[in-house]
Amino acid sequence: MARLLIEGENLHLSLSGWEQLAALHADIRIPLHNIADVEISDRPWRILRGIRAPGTGFPGVIMVGTMRWKKRKDFCAIYGRRPVIVVNLRNEAFSRLIVTCDQPAQLVQLISASSKLR
């Protein structure tokens, strides 16, 4: 499963080999100062926008890849109906990272503290 890690001054979205193949994308590294906001969503399938291109998806089951909408892009690694972390970005190729994780509240606190969000 995709993992969000803090590495120095970057947020690293680490993808397994299978995820990289399914998403047609490598790992993503975002400077912490480009994080605008971090939140948790209990309804991952309702916050998706646009069309999947490229990536692998089956609604309600899996979405790994890029969602394109109105000249913007989101990167998603969503599994089932579990909670996701939504990382809103500025000055990056992606507008948002949407990632399923096991302990979203703790990860939101860690990212917020590391990027000095208030």
How far, in Å, are 16, 24, 27, 98 from residue 37 at the CA level? 25, 26, 20, 12
Rounded CA separation 14/37 (Å): 20
Q: How many distinct structural domains can be found in the chain?
A: 1
What's the confidence (pLDDT) of residue 118? 44
Q: CA end-to-end span of the chain, whole Å?
A: 29
What's the confidence (pLDDT) of residue 9? 94
Rounded CA separation 118/59 (Å): 34
Ranges of residues in the chain with a pLDDT under 70 are 117-118
Domain that holds residue 50: 3-115
- Using DSSP's 3-state secondary structure scheme, residue 102 falls into coil
Whole-number percent of the chain with pLDDT over 70? 98
The model's pTM is 0.94
